[in-house]
Structure 1
Amino acid sequence: MPINLQMPALSPTMEEGTLAKWLVKEGDSVSSGDLLAEIETDKATMEFEAIDEGVIAKIVVAEGTENVKVGAVIAIIAEEGEEAGDVEAPAAPKAKAAEPIAKEETPAPPPKAEPAPAPAAKAASNANDDRLKVSPLARRLAEQKGVDLAALSGSGPNGRIIKADIDATEGGTSSAKSGSVASAQSAAPSPAAASEFDIPHTSEKLTSMRKTIARRLTEAKQTIPHIYLTVDIELDKLLKLRSELNATLASRDIKLSVNDLLIKALAVSLMQVPKCNVSIEGDQLKTFERADISVAVSIEGGLITPIIKNADSKSLSAISTEMKDLAGRAKDGKLKMHEYQGGTASISNMGMFGIKNFDAVINPPQAMIMAIGAGEKRPHVIDDSLQIATIMSATGSFDHRAIDGADGAQLMKVFKELCENPLGMLA
């Protein structure tokens, strides 16, 4: 019996996707685990694997097709012993009629009276100016003043006729002029005037990922009451510990990044302040028993957050190795769904771009995200004396429905202490 290959749901929020590319063709034999297609989801472009064996009998949805609903048949696999040529694609659903048949039998309303034909001069002008470059405002003013656009030379970009060309003309009857002046003065300014500036640009269709990012971030800002708490952190001890650890790990080809240590610090902080390691869902408040840290990774066309699970109990070397693997596969679109779905809190580091501080948007259903700025040399008071130290600003964004300000402040305090005395996170 033929097997219908359906559009998979490659993330919990996915409702439709783009079939970006077929990796097989009709007549190819496939086995479980073979790559069949690249599918652009609401999170990333991912590869779709076969779970059945057989021959690709029919490709129903062509590559490049957008808005393919989850569950829609995209191809048919013929099982062993079946003739691929005998397999037929499922019939496309019939389009719903715009009106019931019964309604078609009702008498049609009498035809409306045709409007009086426009003057011949105006009709000729319209026929000509359809081929001209005219701004919408200039076209409207010309119509009001009775100006023949075909007789004008445009002074705008690429010979475009603009409002100034209409204002400068003496064409039209005096009655048309007086009427148009009164109309123009009483009319409200039109936003179409901005289109007179033909600014060179390119346009491209939003990807499924970008649409989802736009939708989710809009929902997050509209529905989550954010509270922002910032601390300045002295990084010199952390940088010294990182240097010492990297010296011992060099033989294992492991090099810790500052971000690896910050992931660990956030995870340990969440375990010490469990009131911030929560998620609010409907009328339920979930408190998590481990810290899974979602780490923001910039990829082409958007952002994805691979997860370091159990980050509070993992060694720094394990976090570093896992993070490098996840970030590399994220950029290649190779992450599996469980590797970027979930997480109890997030961390976003823009320090490598020289960003001093920023407020990150919470990634629901999580209730907090830590935004990391650049570490930089600043004047700083140490032991009652002004000295130069490496200072980093960190800002926590908290969902005020789930986390009180005092609890958020406690998390920031613990995070600061762990970063400034990093041996505490290793104990």
Structure 2
Amino acid sequence: MPIDITMPALSPTMETGTLAKWLVKEGDKVSPGDVIAEIETDKATMEVESIDEGVVAKIVVAAGTEDVPVGQLIAVLAEEGEEVAAPKAAKAAPKEAPKPEVKEAPKPAKAEKPEPAPKPEPAKAEAPAPAPAAAPAADTDDRVKASPLARRIAEAKGIALGDVQGSGPGGRVVKADLDGGKTAPPAATAPKAAAPAMFETEIPHEAVKLSNMRKVIARRLTEAKQTIPHIYLTVDIQLDALLKLRGELNAALEPRGVKLSVNDLLIKALAAALIEVPECNVSISGEQLFKYSRADISVAVSIPGGLITPIITGADSKSLSAIATEMKELAGRAKEGKLQPHEYQGGTASLSNMGMYGITQFDAVINPPQGMIMAIGAGEKRPFIVNDALAIATVMSATGSFDHRAIDGADGARLMQAFKRLVENPLGMIA
């Protein structure tokens, strides 16, 4: 009996996927656990395994096909020698054979049409007579000096160029004149309301179709900024003690092949701060507040075409060497598109570090349903008060973005205070 293979839901948010590659061909034998295809989701490229034994009888969706809905048939397995092509054709046939419409073909309807014999009133058909009146208007528009782009915009918006005061050379109508230009009768513009959604430009360009990842990023960040009331809190943090400790730890860890980054220590500091200030280790959903007893830190990693946030689970209870090893491995697989959904979905808070790009301070967008994200700027030499005296120190700015529905400003301030203290006194993270 044939077994249908459908597009799997590889994450809770997945609606469609791209069938990147088939690793089998028609006629190949497969066993449970054999990898048969690679599917691109909005975040990663994932391998799909066969859950049954059989022969690949038919590949329904070709490699490279985009936007394949979850649940759609992509291939068929069968027992050796079993024929499945006929059933496929049978399935397609009914779709094209909705003969109800053929029943309308007997044109008795036309027999009834004679009844409304009054229709031979071509008098109304002569309504085209107004057409000549419209022609002069078109001629007038043609005689108006206007740029090609302005003409296209005017046509799309139903604007009469003759009614627009041109601000270009010699009274030429340009795009800027149409942004607030006088429109022809509202009735003419109403049908064109959707036209502004079409973007046109005379600047040389290449139009690139959005990837699944970019679509999801756009949707989620728009949702975050529209629905989450962000509150931003910034502190300046002295890094010298943390940099000194990092150097000492790396020297001790060198025989084990482990090297700590500044980011690894900041992940640990944020996790410890969230446990210390549990009011910030929360998320909100509807009328429920979720309070987490573990700090799972989502770390923003830039990858080709977008961004992904692999998660260090239970970062509050992991050693720095474990965080460094895990982060290196996750970031590597993230850039190859090989993360599994549970490795980048979830998390109780996020950390985004743009210091390596020389960015000194920025406000990050919360990654829903999390309640906060920490934005890390570059460490730089600045005048700073050290031991009650002005000195030159390595200082970075950190900005916490908090969901004000779930986290009060005072609690956010306490988290920033705890984070600053842990970074400036890093032995507290490893004690």
TM-score > 0.5, shorter chain as reference: yes
Q: Are residues 1:74 and 2:74 paired? A: yes
User: How far apart are the structure 1 equivalents of 2:379 and 2:407?
Assistant: 28
C-alpha separation in 1, matches of 2:169 and 2:30: 67
Unaligned runs of 5+ in 1: 146-162, 169-184
Superposed CA RMSD = 3.8
TM-superposed CA distance for 1:234, in Å, is: 0.3
Instruction: For residue 188 of structure 1, report the CA deviation from its aligned partner.
Output: 4.7
SS of match in other structure, 1:391: strand
1:8–1:186 distance in 2 versus 1, CA, 3 Å: closer
**Which residue in the other structure is 2:29 paired with?**
29
73-82 vs 104-113, greater mean Cα deviation: 104-113
Given the alignment of the two structures, is residue 324 of structure 1 paired with residue 319 of structure 2, yes or no?
Answer: no
Aligned match of 1:43: 43
Report what 1:151 is aligned to. none
Secondary structure, counterpart of 1:187 in structure 2: coil
- Aligned counterparts of 1:374 and 1:79: Cα–Cα separation in 2: 61
Q: Note if 1:233 corresponds to 2:256.
A: no
Note the C-alpha offset of 1:300: 1.1
> Counterparts of 2:383 and 2:181 in 1: how far apart (Å)?
61
Corresponding position of 1:64: 64
Deviation, 1:208, is 1.1
Partner of 1:155: none
Among 150, 171, 187, the residue aligned to 2:182 = 187
Structure 2: give runs of 5+ residues left out of the alignment. 163-167, 174-179, 190-194
| In structure 2, C-alpha distance between the alignment counterparts of 1:52 and 1:196, rounded to whole Å | 51
| Matched residue SS, 2:317 | coil
- CA distance in structure 1 between the aligned counterparts of 2:338 and 2:218, rounded to whole angstroms: 23
Match of 2:9 in 1: 9
CA distance in 2, matches of 1:236, 1:96: 76
Mapped contact 1:135–1:195 kept (Cα < 8 A):
no
- Aligned pairs for 1:120-131 within 5 A: none
Separation of aligned partners in 2, 1:422 and 1:284: 35
CA–CA distance in 2 between the matches of 1:409 and 1:96?
Answer: 67
Q: 2 CA distance for matches of 1:96 and 1:89?
A: 12
Preserved contact between residue 149 and residue 202 of structure 2 (Cα < 8 Å): no
| TM-score of the two chains, using structure 1 as the length reference | 0.80
Task: Return the alpha-carbon distance in structure 2 between the equivalents of residues 30 and 266 of structure 1.
Answer: 47
Partners of 1:225 and 1:400 in 2: CA distance: 6
Q: 1:398 aligns with which of 399, 402, 426?
A: 402
Matches of 1:35 and 1:328, distance apart in 2: 22
Does the CA contact (< 8 Å) of 1:58 and 1:88 recur in 2?
no
* Whole-angstrom CA distance in 2 between matches of 1:209 and 1:258: 28
Within the candidate set 279, 303, 308, 1:299 is matched to 303
Deviation of the 1:386 alpha carbon:
1.3
Superposition map of 1:275-354 within 5 A: 275-354=279-358
Query: How many residue pairs align between the two structures?
Result: 386
Percent same amino acid at aligned positions? Answer: 68
Equivalent pair of 1:19/1:38 in contact (CA under 8 Å)? yes
SS at match of 1:410: helix
Worse-matched range after superposition: 84-93 or 335-344: 84-93
Q: Does 1:425 align with 2:429?
A: yes
- Give the whole-Å Cα distance in 2 for the aligned partners of 1:37 and 1:317: 35
Deviation at 1:82, TM superposition (A): 3.6
Question: Structure 1 residues 18, 116: CA separation in 2 closer, same or farther (over 3 Å shift)?
Answer: farther
1:209–1:301 Cα contact (<8 Å) kept = yes
